[in-house]
A = this chain, B = another copy of it.
Amino acid sequence: MARADFPIPVRALIDELKRLPGIGPRSAERMAVWLLQNRKAEPKVLAEALVKADEEIIACPACGFFATRESCGICDDPKRDDSILCVVEQATDVIPLERSGAFKGRYHCLGGKLSPLDRVSPEDLNIPSLMRRVENGGGMEIILALGADVEGEATSNYLADMMRGKPVKLTRIAQGLPAGGGLEHADELTLIRALQGRRDF
């Protein structure tokens, strides 16, 4: 007697779900069972959403954000300020910045950050397209909004070197105490950066 297991199509679905980030074997099993047993589940609708997104979504050739073949929600918005360009690591970094409502300019997504350990070198990032925008920008402000970790810092420094002597005003986002965070929870480096970045009151 073989130990009974899910039939092959269920097992195949579990295996595919298990590959998703943050999904372990038990969650994958739970999701598959829900998809096949729950009346409210619509596995075909999910399947169609996957195929449609996979077929229609590209990285915008200009800024790197998620775009359709027809348009990029950022590059095609005539109301955005062309004189400020915010450089971020990932296309997904655009979403929290947009939600903050604090930025009304254009974006440039590098597609990662320099990391010798992960074998990410300058050629792997969208740096040539950034430099073209810089050259044609006519004195625009470039805000480096990369992470405050070692790789983010290294990438910021690399870009700053590249832009030396170019017709741009280069700035970077502030590092310091996170909103709502007390000094007792801040690590030393955060406090050093917060002190270094102090401003007139």
Contact = CB atoms under 8 A, between A and B. Distances in A.
A200 interface: no
A45 interface: yes
Contacts of A37: 91
A31 interface: yes
Contact of A79 (B1, B33, B98): B1
A2 B104 CA distance: 9
A124 to B, nearest CB: 12
A9 B57 contact: yes
Interface in A41-97: 41-54, 56-57, 65-68, 73-74, 77, 79-80, 91-92, 94-95
B21 A34 contact: yes
Interface stretch (A10-18, A131-139, A164-172, A185-193): A10-18
B53 A35 contact: yes
A4 B52 contact: no
A99 to B, nearest CB: 7
For A3, A15, A95, which residue has the most chain B Cβ atoms within 10 angstroms? A3
A20 B31 contact: yes
Contacts of A74: 4
A183 interface: no
Interface stretch (A22-30, A143-151, A152-160): A22-30
A32 interface: yes
A6 to B, nearest CB: 6
Interface of A: 1-7, 9-10, 12-13, 15-17, 19-23, 27, 29-37, 40-54, 56-57, 65-68, 73-74, 77, 79-80, 91-92, 94-95, 98-99, 101, 104, 107
